[in-house]
Each structure stands twice: as C-alpha cells, then as structure tokens.
C-alpha cells in the first residue's frame, strides 16, 4: 500500500539524541546507543550516486516490470536505494531526484527526477 500524497514521505530518519541519520528507522542508534527512537525527516531531494536498469526484477518486485534501481545520496546525508520508473536515459550520476512515494510493501522508496 502506497502512502498518499497528503502524508509526509520520510526519506530518512534522525536519532533524537545525537542527530545520526539513516535511510531506515532503527530501534537503537548505532552511533550513541540511544533507544529513544528516530524521528522521520520530511521528504528531501538528493542526487544519483549510481543506477542500474533492471530488465528482470526479483520476485518481490516482478509487478513493476522494467525499472531502474537507483542509489541516491539524500540531502540529509544518508544514501538510499530505490526505484525509478522512468526512462534510464534521463539519469546520469549527479541527477537531482526527489522521493515520489514509499510503498509499504515491500518498503521501497520510489524516486523521480526533480
């Protein structure tokens, strides 16, 4: 189930104690050991670090058909793998991206060109 457009789309999570940033929420901060939780950061942009067109998706993503797997360095400082459904010719290392939405199943961020 995808998040709706009126819900904030987290693109990273920040430790409430030491400001450590991660692409996924963690119960315990790996930097300071705090169990105080992590706050979602609002959707942020980033830029492409690397990308690979996927012609034969894995079983859990077969419904997507062809897509591009992208590694994006977010403005918050962390990196996240995600999916780009557009034309791979539009991508280059350094292309500006935004989080379009996050599918709860299988918990994958979808990116779009900014």
Domain ranges of the chain: 45-113
Residue-level pLDDT at 11: 66
What is the Cα–Cα distance from 112 to 25, expressed in whole angstroms?
Answer: 22
Flag whether pLDDT at 49 surpasses 90: yes
The proportion of the chain whose per-residue pLDDT surpasses 90, expressed as a percent, equals: 39
CATH architecture of the region 45-113: Beta Barrel (2.40)
What is the Cα–Cα distance from 62 to 53, expressed in whole angstroms?
Answer: 14
Contact (Cβ atoms closer than 8 angstroms) between residue 23 and residue 12: yes
What is the Cα–Cα distance from 14 to 57, expressed in whole angstroms?
Answer: 31
Residue 81 tokens, joined:
């793998």
Flag whether pLDDT at 50 surpasses 70: yes
């Amino acid at each position: 189930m995808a998040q709706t457009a009126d819900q904030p789309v987290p693109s990273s999570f920040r430790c409430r104690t030491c400001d450590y940033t991660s692409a996924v929420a963690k119960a315990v901060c790996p930097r300071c050991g705090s169990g105080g939780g992590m706050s979602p950061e609002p959707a942020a942009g980033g830029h492409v670090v690397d990308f690979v067109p996927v012609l034969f998706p894995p079983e859990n993503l077969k419904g997507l058909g062809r897509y591009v797997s992208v590694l994006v360095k977010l403005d918050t400082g962390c990196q996240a793998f995600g999916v780009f459904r557009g034309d791979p010719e539009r991508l280059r290392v350094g292309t500006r991206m935004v989080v379009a939405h996050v599918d709860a199943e299988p918990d994958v961020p979808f990116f779009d060109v900014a």
